[in-house]
Amino acid sequence: MRICRQPGRPAWVQTCRHAKLAACLLASLLLASLIVVPAFAAESNPDWSSQVRAAVKAGDLDKALALAEARIIDRPSDLEAHGWYARLLAWKNRHSEAETEYRFVLSQKPNDVDMLLGLADVLHWDGKDSEALQILAQAQSLAPAQTDILVRRGRVLAALKRNAEARSNFRQALSLNSNEQGARLGLASLADETRHQLRIGSDFDGFNYTGTAATESMSLASHWNSSWATAFSFDVYQRFGQRAGKLTGMVTRNLPENNWLTVGGAGGHDHGVIPKSEALFSYGHGFRLGNPFIRGVETSYDQHWYWYSTARILTLGGTALLYLPRDWNWLLSINAARSAFSGVPGHDWQPNGRTRLGFPLARRLSGNLMFAVGSESFAEIDQTGRFAARTFGGGLRLALNNTQDITGYIAAQDRSQARSETSGGVSYGFRF
């Protein structure tokens, strides 16, 4: 074999130089393979997503969230990782962050139906049903035959009280897939819809300082559509040897984004034992939280005027109703009442409040416990004036079927001036 060499240099020297050059070239190739191949594998290996899926299947959302977050840090442009991160944030009830992630992915892939559905879910859980409906309309334009889009639209429309449209979407989903369980459940939830409730009841009040009093009542509450509701009641009072009657009417307007406004008034023959006239105003807002401990909250600001023949009373306050897991609920109400009496100078503000805890007892039976302080009811003359009181009570509700129920309560009030009152009542309700 012929060996090329420079003139004047021994052959063995040039041979060694060639060997060293080959060794360096081999080492460089090996080093490159150690750097490039793992990097390429990290780019193309979907192992991280399978680990996320495995963690989700095992119920370890924290681990899955950490894996997705690490992938985003390593590959910020990986839209699949951002999609997983959005889903996991939503499942962790971190809705605001999930919405941000969903919108980021959709800014890069606006026609991703899965991301559109995820965003719609988050908006629906946060009570932004009008926005959710717009997102679902976009998803439906991309996949008109996808039944889960129709089911989601039905749920959102039902939350907006647009029940006829909700039924239409559920039925359309069933026409495409007769086994669509979500659509069947949606239709079942709307099957028992009723617009009116008629309730007839009777109450008694026993005192340690005077004779027993009684009240008979009849009321009709109607939900006409998604926007309007009315309530009327007629009450007859027998108190302190007098007989009085009162008619009350209220109108509620449901506003967008889970808001509502109620105005009303009352009047009748007072005979000195009930107000001659009343006026009320209430503004409320509902929050759907999706929290594991508090599913939702309804809050309201309430203002009520009472005009007696010898007194004027104004109450201002707020009420919060918390929806808890397993059909428990907790009501809190705090008010301040200003009383002005004829011939008595000045005005007094007196605080009062009440709380009630509701809970299920059996399949058709539920109960509640309540506690109140102050002169918490101003509908009767004996509840006005300067006195302190503590009231303990409880009640039961028995659902006879899907349209009828019987409710009852009993309460004991301990007043100042060594006075006491025991109250109770029962009513029957029928929905149609």
pLDDT of residue 344: 65
Q: Read off the amino acid at residue 286.
A: G
Q: Do both 131 and 200 map to the same domain?
A: no
Whole domain around residue 201: which residue ranges?
Answer: 196-431
Examine the fold and report which residue of 140, 172, 189 is the final residue of a domain before the chain moves on: 189
* Residue 180 backbone phi and psi in degrees, to 5: -70, 100
pLDDT of residue 372: 93
Q: Do both 255 and 167 map to the same domain?
A: no
**Considering the entire predicted model, what is its pTM?**
0.66
Tokens read off for 81: 């990782």
* Residue 340 backbone phi and psi in degrees, to 5: -130, 125
Domain at 333, CATH number = 2.40.160.40
From CA 297, how far away is CA 94, in angstroms rounded? Answer: 17
Tokens read off for 205: 């009040």
Examine the fold and report which residue of 136, 154, 189 is the final residue of a domain before the chain moves on: 189
Q: Read off the amino acid at residue 390.
A: R
Q: Do both 411 and 338 map to the same domain?
A: yes
Examine the fold and report which residue of 189, 214, 243 is the final residue of a domain before the chain moves on: 189
Per residue in 410-419, is it b (16+ CB within 10 Å) or e — as a string? ebebebeeee
pLDDT of residue 257: 82
Q: Do both 398 and 257 map to the same domain?
A: yes
Q: Do both 265 and 413 map to the same domain?
A: yes
Q: Do both 253 and 384 map to the same domain?
A: yes
Q: Do both 185 and 228 map to the same domain?
A: no
* 17-31 pLDDT, tens digit each: 544 544 444 444 444
Q: Do both 184 and 230 map to the same domain?
A: no
Region of 346 on the Ramachandran plot (φ > 0 left; ψ -120 to 50 alpha; else beta)? left
Q: Do both 368 and 409 map to the same domain?
A: yes
Q: Which residues of the chain are under the pLDDT cut of 50? A: 1-16, 18-19, 21-45
pLDDT of residue 302: 97
The rounded Cα 49 to chain-centroid distance in angstroms is: 33
* 37-46 pLDDT, tens digit each: 344 334 444 5
* 254-298 pLDDT, tens digit each: 998 889 999 999 999 998 889 999 999 999 999 887 677 898 999
pLDDT of residue 420: 92
pLDDT of residue 272: 85
Q: Per the structure, how many domains does the chain have?
A: 2
pLDDT of residue 41: 39
